[in-house]
Amino acid sequence: MNIIKTLREASGYTQLELAKKTSLSLRTIQRLESKNKEPKGHTLAALSKVFSMKPSALQNQFKNIEHTKKSETLSIRLINLSVLSFIGIPFGNIILPFILWRRNCKSKFVDEMGRRIVNFQIIFSVVLSILLCISPFIGRAFFSNTPIILIVLFVAYVVNIIIVCNTAVKLHRNNFNLLDFPIRFL
């Protein structure tokens, strides 16, 4: 939600009209809207006056948005880390993230990111199941006495742990461009 843009549009102003009314430059108004950053000092006072609100009320709107963003990011991080439950619970990589996603999907952002995480884990589980089904036949044909099924399972677990850790690092850096596959189950 872009606060300045929303207030400007609700008041019926164009960016140029708001710039004139506040004595701020058009570039300042454009920058505030594009970055959705909290105005300070003279800019805050000028905008508050035009929108007929106290500067503290305008600041609170920005603080509420920041709090919401932090809460949403925390929810996404928990969904991602809950994937690790597959280590002790069969299909825990789908069940627990799915439950957490459904509890927190009121936000569009959490809904989309949660879908991506759960969707990836469904794809991962399907691929792993197929590999586990065919590995005994491949093992018998190429590796006579090697328990290939255990190797496949171990490698898959390690790969999934690496993916969860990589996703956690991206989330920590506020990089939300992750796990977006063209195949969607959710």
Domains of the chain: 3-53 (1.10.260.40), 69-172 (no CATH)
pTM above 0.75, yes or no: no
3-state per-residue secondary structure call for 18-61: HHHHHCCCHHHHHHHHHHCCCCCHHHHHHHHHHCCCCHHHHHHH
CB 3 within 8 Å of CB 62: yes
Closest CA to 174 of 115, 117, 120, 113: 113
Per residue of the chain (186 residues), give pLDDT as tens: 688 888 888 889 888 888 888 888 889 888 888 877 788 888 888 888 888 888 888 888 888 777 777 888 888 999 999 999 988 888 889 999 999 999 987 888 889 999 999 999 999 999 999 998 988 887 776 767 777 888 888 999 999 999 999 999 998 888 888 877 777 777
Cα distance between residue 46 and residue 58, in whole Å = 11
